[in-house]
């Protein structure tokens, strides 16, 4: 299955999808040293986003969250790519400074946690390889 | 989005790595918000300075940018987490101070004026009516848009930096005149003076959220009042622009939707900002005090002694003028401290105090949220009386 999207930051990545329908706040919501979601009550609480194709509707919270994405990348625990429904400024800026491929306008309902996904953020589509 | 040859070159990395990163950020923002092109900005105000908020991630990023990045326009800086000169005396930990100074060094290396104040318009960064700027710091953004008539969106720290490093921003939102019209009329049916403005901003903000208001019924307003109002309405509502009939300079269409603000609304706002609690900290200067406010405080404290910890927050440039006028020594002799480069919203004060006395509704918001303080709100006179007597009357 191929799904089209809008490129925010280009690149290519392949990995396992980690999906939530809740917005993510990277500042205070994700541990920058481990990549583990620490926001209390979040669907992904205690899950690790490192190396995953992280799929969520949009970002929320402090603009400092962009720097958390940068720190995750420096610590080699950033997601391999990010897919959003509607990308917000915090996540966009974070992905750019952390060099994480990012697309939005993706029908994220079609993706489930555990799917293997090829993100082609150079040409603007993703492939769901295995469900 | 259309890019000029020069902008394409910046994006391709021909002006260095930091400039390339900055251009990538602007292009992404332009794409997300549907901007047609980039526009030049006259000045930038960068927030996201306190190490408390930036952490090592932010510090690393800034240090990397500073390797080859240089600002292209006048750029000033928001408050940091410490007074850069007297942090020790104010009991800030040495570890924190060292990291904070590294952050400031990185900004300085980028060519940013390390003014460390939220009132850039009083220390030399004064945009003119109609000029495009890229500012962060919600109170300054709202003041610049509404009182000065300049045009800016509410930038975050990184997007303001991107504007500084390129001298440009994406053309969307409040840069476009069609997005600057009022969306609701506010009829103010009570007299507003001094600290009432902080209550008015609180009240309108809570009622109308991020709608742009057209405010009627105000006869006069001074600098301090509009500074306070800008902070309050941005904190409690989220709007980055307001219009006041016969006072602010922007033209606007008049919308149909209307609400009234009465004396009872101000009273409710005052009640909501006043908690029960034993006062142990007086903080004035959110936004940072103007010269006139410092003069007023100096007169009130002249020959008196404070009995609770009292910090008067202002820009270092204003403190210097206050020293020349002899006002600073009157304040310091009372035991109160003039604190520069930092503020109540971003200094690491959690756990140090229990109940804040202030004349700022914005300071109440951050005092409660970030620092877990109880709060008492009143005029400068009332705050200084509490500082001297140790009692909130």
Domains, chain B, ordered by start: 5-177 (3.30.499.10), 181-271 (no CATH), 274-389 (3.30.499.10)
Cα(first)–Cα(last) distance of chain B, in Å? 59
Minimum-distance CB partner of B158 among A8, A66, A87: A66
Question: Which pLDDT score, from 0 to 100, does residue A4 have?
Answer: 97
Question: Which pLDDT score, from 0 to 100, does residue A40 have?
Answer: 85
Among A34, A62, A75, A113, which one carries the catalytic annotation? A62
Question: Which pLDDT score, from 0 to 100, does residue A131 have?
Answer: 67
User: DSSP of B106-134, one letter per residue?
Assistant: HHHHTT-B----S-GGGTT--PPTT-B-E
| Alpha-carbon distances, residue B258 vs A121, B2, B192, B204, B215 (angstroms) | 47, 40, 19, 12, 10
In a structure prediction context, what are the per-residue pLDDT tens digits for chain B, which is 393 residues long?
999 999 999 999 999 999 999 999 999 999 889 999 999 999 999 999 999 888 888 899 999 999 999 999 999 999 999 999 999 999 999 999 999 999 999 999 999 999 999 999 999 999 999 999 999 999 999 999 999 999 999 898 899 999 999 999 999 999 999 999 999 999 999 999 999 999 999 999 999 988 999 999 999 999 999 999 999 999 999 899 999 999 999 999 999 999 999 999 999 999 999 999 999 999 999 999 999 999 999 999 999 999 999 999 999 999 999 999 999 999 999 999 999 999 988 888 989 999 999 999 999 998 988 788 999 999 999 999 999 999 998
List of residues 6+ apart from A98 with CB closer than 8 A: A69, A70, A72, A73, A78
**CB–CB of A64 and B56 under 8 A?**
no
A15 contacts A83 by C-beta, under 8 angstroms: no
Minimum-distance CB partner of B60 among A71, A90, A96: A71
Describe the crossing of helices B361-369 and B196-208 by its angle, rounded to 10 degrees: 60
Provide, as residue numbers in chain B, all residues whose Cβ is less than 8 Å from the Cβ of A66: 156-158
A25 in catalytic set: no
List of residues 6+ apart from B114 with CB closer than 8 A: B77, B104, B107, B108
Q: Which of A111, A56, A112 is nearest to A86 (CA)?
A: A56
Exposed e or buried b for every residue in A108-123, given b needs 16+ CB within 10 A?
beebeeebebbbbbee
List of residues 6+ apart from A47 with CB closer than 8 A: A18, A36, A37
Which tens digits make up the pLDDT trace of A97-107?
999 999 999 99
Nearest CA in chain B to A65: B54
Q: Which CATH topology does A2-130 take? A: Glucose Oxidase; domain 1 (3.50.30)
DSSP letter for B90, please: T
Minimum-distance CB partner of A89 among B58, B60, B159: B159
Nearest CA in chain B to A70: B57
- Tell me, yes or no, if B26 comes closer than 8 A to chain A by beta carbon: no
Q: Which of B350, B288, B241, B362 is nearest to B77 (CA)?
A: B288
- Tell me, yes or no, if A56 comes closer than 8 A to chain B by beta carbon: no
* For chain A, percent of residues with pLDDT exceeding 70: 99
Residue A48: count of CB within 10 angstroms of its CB: 16
Indicate if the pLDDT at residue A130 is higher than 80: no
* For chain A, percent of residues with pLDDT exceeding 90: 81
**CB–CB of A8 and B159 under 8 A?**
no
Question: Which pLDDT score, from 0 to 100, does residue B325 have?
Answer: 98
Q: Can you give the residue ranges of every domain in chain A?
A: 2-130
Question: Which pLDDT score, from 0 to 100, does residue A122 have?
Answer: 97
Site of tokens 């140090």: B352
Question: Which pLDDT score, from 0 to 100, does residue A61 have?
Answer: 75
Question: Which pLDDT score, from 0 to 100, does residue B381 have?
Answer: 98
Minimum-distance CB partner of A92 among B32, B56, B60: B32
Question: Which pLDDT score, from 0 to 100, does residue B256 have?
Answer: 97
- Tell me, yes or no, if B32 comes closer than 8 A to chain A by beta carbon: yes
DSSP letter for B255, please: P
- Tell me, yes or no, if B159 comes closer than 8 A to chain A by beta carbon: yes
**CB–CB of B54 and A89 under 8 A?**
no
Question: Which pLDDT score, from 0 to 100, does residue A60 have?
Answer: 85
Dihedral sign for Cα atoms in the order B9, B13, B16, B22: positive
List of residues 6+ apart from A81 with CB closer than 8 A: A11, A13, A15, A53, A54, A100, A101, A102, A103, A117, A119, A121
Provide, as residue numbers in chain B, all residues whose Cβ is less than 8 Å from the Cβ of A92: 25, 28-29, 32
- Tell me, yes or no, if B57 comes closer than 8 A to chain A by beta carbon: yes
Q: Which helix H or strand E contains B21, and what residues bound it?
A: helix B17-33
Question: Three-state DSSP class for B95?
Answer: helix
Residue B378: count of CB within 10 angstroms of its CB: 19
B119 contacts B380 by C-beta, under 8 angstroms: no
């Amino acid at each position: 299955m191929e799904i089209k999207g809008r490129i925010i930051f280009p690149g290519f990545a392949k990995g396992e999808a980690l999906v939530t329908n809740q917005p993510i706040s990277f500042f205070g919501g994700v541990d920058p040293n481990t990549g583990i979601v620490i926001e209390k009550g979040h669907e992904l609480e205690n899950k690790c986003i490192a190396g995953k194709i992280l799929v969520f509707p949009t970002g929320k919270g402090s603009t400092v969250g962009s720097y958390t994405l940068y720190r995750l990348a420096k610590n080699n625990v950033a997601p391999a790519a990010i897919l959003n429904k509607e990308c917000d400024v915090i996540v966009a800026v974070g992905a750019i400074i952390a060099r994480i491929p990012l697309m939005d306008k993706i029908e994220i309902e079609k993706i489930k946690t555990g799917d293997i996904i090829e993100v082609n953020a150079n040409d603007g589509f993703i492939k769901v390889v295995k469900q | 989005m259309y890019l000029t040859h020069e902008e394409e070159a910046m994006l391709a990395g021909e002006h260095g790595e930091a400039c390339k990163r900055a251009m990538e950020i602007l292009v992404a923002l332009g794409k997300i918000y549907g901007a047609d092109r980039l526009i030049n900005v006259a000045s930038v105000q960068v927030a996201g300075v306190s190490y408390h908020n930036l952490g090592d991630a932010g510090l690393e990023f800034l240090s990397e940018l500073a390797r080859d990045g240089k600002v292209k326009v006048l750029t000033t800086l928001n408050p940091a987490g410490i007074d850069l000169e007297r942090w020790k005396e104010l009991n800030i930990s040495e570890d924190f101070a060292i990291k904070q100074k590294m952050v400031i060094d990185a900004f300085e290396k980028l060519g940013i004026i390390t003014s460390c104040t939220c009132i850039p318009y009083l220390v030399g960064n004064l945009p003119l009516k109609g000029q495009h700027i890229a500012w962060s710091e919600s109170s300054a953004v709202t003041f610049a848009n509404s009182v000065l008539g300049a045009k800016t969106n509410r930038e975050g720290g990184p997007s303001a930096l991107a504007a500084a490093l390129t001298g440009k921003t994406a053309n969307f939102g409040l840069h476009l005149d069609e997005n600057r019209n009022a969306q609701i009329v506010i009829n103010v049916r009570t007299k507003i003076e001094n600290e009432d403005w902080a209550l008015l901003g609180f009240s309108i903000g809570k009622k109308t959220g991020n709608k742009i208001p057209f405010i009627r019924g105000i006869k006069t307003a001074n600098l301090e009042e509009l500074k306070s109002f800008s902070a309050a309405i941005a904190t409690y509502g989220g709007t980055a622009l307001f219009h006041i009939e016969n006072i602010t300079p922007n033209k606007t269409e008049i919308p149909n939707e209307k609400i009234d603000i009465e004396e009872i609304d101000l009273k409710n706002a005052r009640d909501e900002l006043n908690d029960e609690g034993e006062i142990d900290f007086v903080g004035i200067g959110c936004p940072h005090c103007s010269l006139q406010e410092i003069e007023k405080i100096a007169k009130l404290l002249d020959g008196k002694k404070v009995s609770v910890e009292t910090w008067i927050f202002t820009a270092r440039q204003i403190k210097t003028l206050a020293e020349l006028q002899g006002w600073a020594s009157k304040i310091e002799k009372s035991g109160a401290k003039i604190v520069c480069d930092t503020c109540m919203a971003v200094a690491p004060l959690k756990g140090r105090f229990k109940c804040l006395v202030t004349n700022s509704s914005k300071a109440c918001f951050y005092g409660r949220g970030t620092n877990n303080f109880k709060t008492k709100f009143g005029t400068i006179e009332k705050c200084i009386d509490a500082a001297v007597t140790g009692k909130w009357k």
